[in-house]
Structure 1
Amino acid sequence: MARMHTRRRGSSGSDKPTADEPPEWSDVDEEAIEDRVVELAEQGHDPSQIGLKLRDEGVQGTPIPDVKLATGKKVTEILEENDAAADIPEDFRNLLEKAVNLREHVEEHGQDHSNRRALQNVESKIRRLADYYRGDELPEDFTYSYEKAQEVLE
């Protein structure tokens, strides 16, 4: 598949091994996993960071290689059930942060044309992603602007 803002093709990434059930050595109770997910979310971690922490640190000393295999639910589903989900999706928030940082950089360094182009690309991605999330995770009348991005991030 080609990249979004260049004409090059990317190198393919590794695929996750297919598995139907969690490994035998990872026999942690589902409730303990869900409690740890909610606890990490309350500490301010994003869903992707929660997955990495469970993989590396685990629950009660036992690593959890895949939360969905162990519990039957994704991390975001667990957070939604326990009312610990974020206001806006993680990928959208990350793009907003990137756009705000790039805008501040471009305002300070006006001759940096490559980053001006990068800002245009990021804002384009934000507008496309806003169309996808509008109505479900974002309000119906949401339109991207630098000021709104700063508001959302505060």
Structure 2
Amino acid sequence: MAGKRRKKGRSHSTRPASPAIPKWVQYDPEEIEEIIVDLAKKGYPPSMIGIILRDQFGIPLVKPILGKTITEVLEEHGIKMVVPEDLFRLIQKAVNLRRHLEEHPKDTHAKKGLLDLEAKIRRIVKYYKREGKLPPDWEYDPQRAKLLVAGGLYIEAAK
């Protein structure tokens, strides 16, 4: 067997065939960076910015054009994410599940789901600490998580 076969989750967008810059892209790298920063200031996360660039601006991938990712562009412009986006989405899910369990305390399936979700959060936090994307003293706390989700994804640093 050449590769691992999937059983579920076959639906996804297909990445461009070659990493070369397509001929139809009409924007300069500076203009693309400006668009990325504007969209981030409107509150869009990096994944949504990528989708908007693809669908509305005809830019399939940012990295071959700019030589850096969307999050790297944002960090250069002083817009920093509180936590990485995938971790933020999992924390958001956990906060919503806790809210559900306050209303429905006997929902045992949801309790098990919350345990699994928080275990996943802790594993990802351990990975991001190891990679240096989170400070070594960062801990997942459900009360702090609620504040984090209420505050949003970005911190804009003053230049």
Alignment of 1:41-52 (within 5 A): 41-52=40-51
Q: Distance in 1 between matches of 2:7 and 2:51?
A: 28
Does the aligned pair in 2 maintain the 1:87–1:137 contact within 8 Å?
no
Length-normalised TM-score, structure 1:
0.84
- Name 2:126's counterpart in structure 1: 131
Q: Deviations over 1:57-80 (max 9, x none)?
A: 11xxxx111111222211111111
Q: Distance in 1 between matches of 2:138 and 2:9?
A: 35
- Name 1:122's counterpart in structure 2: 117
Does the aligned pair in 1 maintain the 2:36–2:70 contact within 8 Å?
yes
**Displacement after TM superposition at 1:138 (Å):** 2.3
Does 2:53 match 1:54? Answer: yes
Moved more, 144-153 or 27-36: 144-153
Structure 2: gaps (5+ residues):
152-159
* Percent identity (aligned): 40
Q: Distance in 2 between matches of 1:113 and 1:127?
A: 21
Length-normalised TM-score, structure 2:
0.81
Does the aligned pair in 2 maintain the 1:67–1:75 contact within 8 Å?
yes
Q: Deviations over 1:8-52 (max 9, x none)?
A: 943445552431312111131110000100111111110001001
Q: Distance in 2 between matches of 1:51 and 1:40?
A: 10
Question: In the comparison of the two structures, how many residue pairs are matched?
Answer: 145
- Name 2:141's counterpart in structure 1: 145
Does the aligned pair in 1 maintain the 2:16–2:60 contact within 8 Å?
no
Alignment of 1:51-130 (within 5 A): 51-58=50-57, 63-130=58-125
Q: Distance in 2 between matches of 1:37 and 1:109?
A: 41
**Displacement after TM superposition at 1:91 (Å):** 0.8
Secondary structure at 1:25 match in 2: coil
Does the aligned pair in 1 maintain the 2:45–2:85 contact within 8 Å?
yes
Does the aligned pair in 2 maintain the 1:26–1:64 contact within 8 Å?
yes
- Name 1:21's counterpart in structure 2: 20
Secondary structure at 2:135 match in 1: coil
Structure 1: gaps (5+ residues):
3-7
